[in-house]
Structure 1
Amino acid sequence: MDPHLLRTFVTVVHWRSFSAAAEELGYTQSAVSQQIAALEADLGLALLHRRPVRPTPAGERLLEHAGPLLLRHRAARADVLRAATGPIERLSVVASPLACTPAIARSLARERLAVTLRTAGRESVAEQIASGAADLGFVDGIAAPSDPLRLPDAGSPAGVGVAEEELVVVLPTGHPLSRRRGLALADLADALWLQAPAAVSVERLRELSGVGGFRVGFHYDGEDLRTVLNLAAAGHGLTLLPSSVTAGVPLSAPRVVHRVEMLHSPLAAGPAAAVAGRLG
């Protein structure tokens, strides 16, 4: 299948509109219609209902494969371009909100060159590395000691563990449990919790503890860690954070840690390879 036709198909499904897809892609509406017709002719199947615009059962199945296929196409293109251009002079790094540990920050500083670091969601980090949008990626999450993180199948290499540290329960100021030497997650199921990109989700808390509960007390859609800490201190909800980030009561059960993994495609000699070599 032609990846350009596949991209047009995905865009039409996303917008549920041929005209909106044409505007995003920079084509005419007629060109979009012709490309969808060409893709349907290639497969010998109708992929879209026209009024309203929505995928047929065959289109739904194709959509399941389209994302990974397009991502791998971009990754292959980026890999070929990297091999042709040789070592890079600038370093592009993408990290999930809590993945840039002090050790990683120090390692990046040692290169003494222009480093661009941007924050992204955990799934987006893997996708950006696979597509060549960044040279190095760092993702964080909660896992059993020495266990790998569960990363999305984005065509990127498996993560290499670079850091593990204790998790602490962040409580409101003056909370009666703040003097405890340790807290079990299952004992906190009735408490209100913060739901934020920089913090563990309530769904993951239920999975880790094996019990229900863990109600959301406050939704915060930003990634500013200071805001998360202020919300927790004010009593809007508990959260789990790495011990290097803030003070709190150590999580005693289950036995899990905050883990950071490094992602990268095959690297030529240069700053990205140097950083990866030091951390890996």
Structure 2
Amino acid sequence: MLKPPHLLTLKAVVHTGSFALAARDLGYTASAISQQISALEKDTGLVLFEREAHGIRATAAARHLVDLSTRVLTALDDLDHQVRELATGTTGRLALGSFPTAGVRLVPSALSAFASTHPRARIQLEEGEPDELLSALSEGELDVALVYEYGLSPRQWPESLAQYPLLREDLVLLRAVGSGIGAELPGLAGQRWITSREGTAGALSLTRLCAAAGFAAQVAFRSNNYDVVRELVGTGLGVAVVPALGHEPGDRIDAVRLNRPSAHRTVMALHRRENSNPLLGAMLRTLRAAVPGDQPYLHPAASAQRPVAGAASGSGSSESDI
């Protein structure tokens, strides 16, 4: 098989008409150039140069071989350029998974910023609950997964994954404007509550919050969609506790942060420790930079990255990040 370096050497010698000048241009010795040409002649069975007393003369076969190899060498040069871009993260592909609420409030701005700095990169976005995303992440279908855990319902993540904290959300109490309902949990024992499906982390967190306040919540409605929860609250059908990403300020809803221990939710990005995707670091930094720093109830994470250990648990649903 012909060796590309030998073809490049041939092109240089034909162009300069001299082993010495080709050696200077390529950074070789004249002896190395001569050896490469001899090896190419042996590989092709062609006489490429006529040796004369005062120099060399390229044969017709040499010139024709240069013409034939130009397209191949150009393609190889393009391949080398593309590989370098892939290695540096200029191009490439990254698969990102997100739970629904972050997909609405965090991911769009992050992807917009990432596209401006990596216009040739291809990003694939998948949506799902943490357990669904963990499975895809572990199997290599995702490079990054956005997940969450409640302070009152902590999780353990697989030891093979590294954690990149993004933000902490306060849990906020939602009440209809003008309802006259108080803002302290102990005084809400007789209220109707709106929360997520039984067994979700949000519902479990509410149960534990109310128990710590001395009562059991009387759940009137359940929905795994924050838009539905807010509409039910806004029409005066009950009160709800949601993480900050699930709250959209509006004229019909009054929101107040719960001043209770562990009344928060943490959002983080997980990735496989051994993942060598060149785009990974840039995506993690872009996700963190996309966290709003001027909105109430949202607290961007510190810059330190820390590993996590343990085993995954829990179940997912269509919108059970609440």
TM-score relative to the length of structure 2: 0.48
Aligned length: 185
Where structure 1 has 5 or more consecutive residues not aligned to the other structure, the ranges are 1-84
Q: Which structure is larger by alpha-carbon Rg, 1 or 2?
A: 2
- Contact 1:129 1:156 (C-alpha < 8 Å) held by counterparts: no
**Given the alignment, which residue of 115, 118, 124 partners 2:132?**
124
Change (3 A) 1:236 1:276: same
Q: Please list every run of at least 4 consecutive aligned residues from structure 1 whose deviation after the TM superposition is greater than 6 angstroms.
A: 85-88
1:95 matched residue in structure 2: 98
Where structure 2 has 5 or more consecutive residues not aligned to the other structure, the ranges are 1-85, 116-120, 250-254, 289-304, 306-322
Change (3 A) 1:268 1:194: same
Change (3 A) 1:92 1:191: farther
Letter aligned with residue 188 of structure 2? L
Letter aligned with residue 166 of structure 2? V
**Given the alignment, which residue of 251, 261, 272 partners 1:254?**
261
CA deviation map 1:49-75 (0-9, x unaligned): xxxxxxxxxxxxxxxxxxxxxxxxxxx
CA deviation map 1:151-205 (0-9, x unaligned): 355565253321013321111343213xx6xx343443432222336x8633221
- Whether 1:166 and 2:170 are equivalent positions in the alignment is yes
Change (3 A) 1:133 1:192: farther
Superposition RMSD in Å: 3.2
Change (3 A) 1:132 1:235: farther
1:70 matched residue in structure 2: none
1:185 matched residue in structure 2: 185
CA distance in structure 2 between the partners assigned to 1:130 and 1:153 by the alignment: 11
Change (3 A) 1:257 1:231: same
CA deviation map 1:13-59 (0-9, x unaligned): xxxxxxxxxxxxxxxxxxxxxxxxxxxxxxxxxxxxxxxxxxxxxxx
Change (3 A) 1:271 1:96: same
| Same amino acid, percent of matched pairs | 19
- Contact 1:202 1:215 (C-alpha < 8 Å) held by counterparts: no
CA distance in structure 1 between the partners assigned to 2:186 and 2:93 by the alignment: 46
CA distance in structure 2 between the partners assigned to 1:269 and 1:93 by the alignment: 12
2:223 matched residue in structure 1: 220
TM-score relative to the length of structure 1: 0.54
CA distance in structure 2 between the partners assigned to 1:110 and 1:134 by the alignment: 20
2:109 matched residue in structure 1: 106
Change (3 A) 1:132 1:201: same
CA distance in structure 2 between the partners assigned to 1:170 and 1:158 by the alignment: 34
CA distance in structure 2 between the partners assigned to 1:242 and 1:132 by the alignment: 30
- TM superposition shift of 1:108: 2.8
Change (3 A) 1:114 1:269: closer
CA distance in structure 2 between the partners assigned to 1:191 and 1:200 by the alignment: 21
